[in-house]
Amino acid sequence: MASKKGKKTVQVAEGGEEKIQRLGPNVQEGELVFAVAHILATFNDTFIHITDLSGRETLVRVTGGMKVKADREESSPYAAMLAASDVVNRLKELRINALHIKLRARGGVQSKNPGPGAQAALRALARFGMKIGRIEDVTPVPTDSTKRDGGRRGRRL
């Protein structure tokens, strides 16, 4: 019989004894278990994607658009905070208590500045009890690429 949140699974063995199965790694008290938080903050949405250290396995992925109804609020700091809250709750179930942060803006020939939800998401992760390891900016920067919008004389205001 599984509990509401899925934290523990209780199985009854043949002898009638109950065996509790927990999610996540076996850790001692005070030991840090790291994962990687990939935060993509654009001006239209904020994605918080948590993977294991190799980046191969997704543990949880929440966006600002999943938390608010209005399209214009998807990238807001409030939506990023709500998304970070959901992420932390799921990570606590998996017994992960520390994160390395990889922050990313749209990049390329688009904006290289992160959106408004980036800082709010990072602060919320720290405030809700996650230990923060390294913070890295992984915004793609072109070395030489296709021509940017605006033409020869640039965007005229």
11-41 residue pLDDT tens:
666 666 777 777 777 888 889 999 999 999 9
Distance, in Å, from the CA atom of 115 to the CA atom of 98, rounded to the nearest integer, reads 24
pLDDT band of residue 149 (cuts 50, 70, 90) is confident
DSSP assignment, residue 141?
-
Mean pLDDT of 54-70: 96
Lowest mean pLDDT among 33-37, 86-90, 146-150: 146-150
Alpha-carbon distance of 124 to 84, in angstroms, equals 6
Q: What is the mean pLDDT of residues 105-122?
A: 95
8 Å CB contact between 59 and 94? yes
Bridge partners (DSSP) of residue 40 are 47, 104
* pTM of structure: 0.82
Q: Which amino acid is at 58?
A: T
The pLDDT assigned to 154 comes to: 86
In this structure, are residues 20 and 1 in contact, taking their beta carbons and an 8 Å threshold? no
CA distances from 145 to 91, 108, 127 (A): 38, 8, 39
So what's the pLDDT on residue 70?
Answer: 96
- In whole angstroms, give the CA distance from residue 80 to residue 63: 7
Please give the Cα distance from 155 to 157 (Å, whole number).
Answer: 6
DSSP at 42: -
Q: Nearest 10 degrees: CA dihedral of 117, 119, 121, 122?
A: 160
Quote the mean pLDDT of the chain: 89
